[in-house]
Amino acid sequence: MDHDGSIADVAIVWAKSEEGVRGFVVPSDSPGFSTQDIHRKLSLRASVTSEILLDDVRLPGSALLPGAISLRGPLACLDEARFGIVWGAAGAARACLEAALEYCGQRIQFDRPIASFQLVQQRLATIALEVNRATLLALHLGRLKDAGRLRAEHVSMGKLANVNAALEVARSARQLLGANGITLEYPVMRHLANLESVVTYEGTADVHALVVGAALTGIQAFR
């Protein structure tokens, strides 16, 4: 599966060769290259998601990405994407917090806004805690990246922590909005549905847990 696969002019395909895993630049007009869009999605609905099909596609030697040998090439790309997700998840969580705060301040029950109720304030405080924790983690990882000290396990921890936190924030905010939370009048349900995809793509939560586990124990648990 690939985002924008059917509208892109070029695809980067990683494949096993005699030299190991190599990257190939594949023009979309190559004979044997085709795509099939995925429809009826309940998440990431604004993006074009496509299956890329390669049927005996032949390429010249110039299609090889120079210097990208072994899994280090695609994994380096994944680390960059995962780093962006660390920030994106924090942003989605903050959007849910802001929507919940505004709603709870305006929604009147028993002649006063529900923001005045203790249980609502407790839930809002917990949401704010997770949002700020996620933002601080993203900021810290950004500073490590700027200093050239960011490692793959740092990024895995950030993606695992922030996406899980954003999911919990979105679910909690959705409950604060009540039945209004499932409508597109508010952004919370959209973020929640998208985060259910984010927790899977660019490495699932389970994969990132194993990366962090290997860093902690020195033992590789992948099989």
Q: Determine the average pLDDT of the residues in 3-16.
A: 84
Cα–Cα distance for residue pair 162/185, rounded to 1 Å: 25
Catalytic residue numbers? Answer: 202
Domains of the chain as residue ranges with CATH: 2-69 (2.40.110.10), 72-217 (1.20.140.10)
> Alpha-carbon dihedral of residues 50, 53, 58, 63, nearest 10 degrees?
30
pTM equals 0.86
| Residue 32, phi then psi, degrees to nearest 5 | 95, -10
pLDDT tier at 172, thresholds 50, 70, 90 = very high
pLDDT one-digit tens code per residue, 39-92: 999 998 888 888 999 999 999 988 888 877 766 667 777 888 999 999 999 999
- The full 3-state SS of 131-194, as one line of letters, equals HHHHHHHHHHHHHHHHCCCCCHHHHHHHHHHHHHHHHHHHHHHHHHCHHHHHCCCCCHHHHHHH
Return the amino acid letter for 156: S
pLDDT tier at 124, thresholds 50, 70, 90 = very high
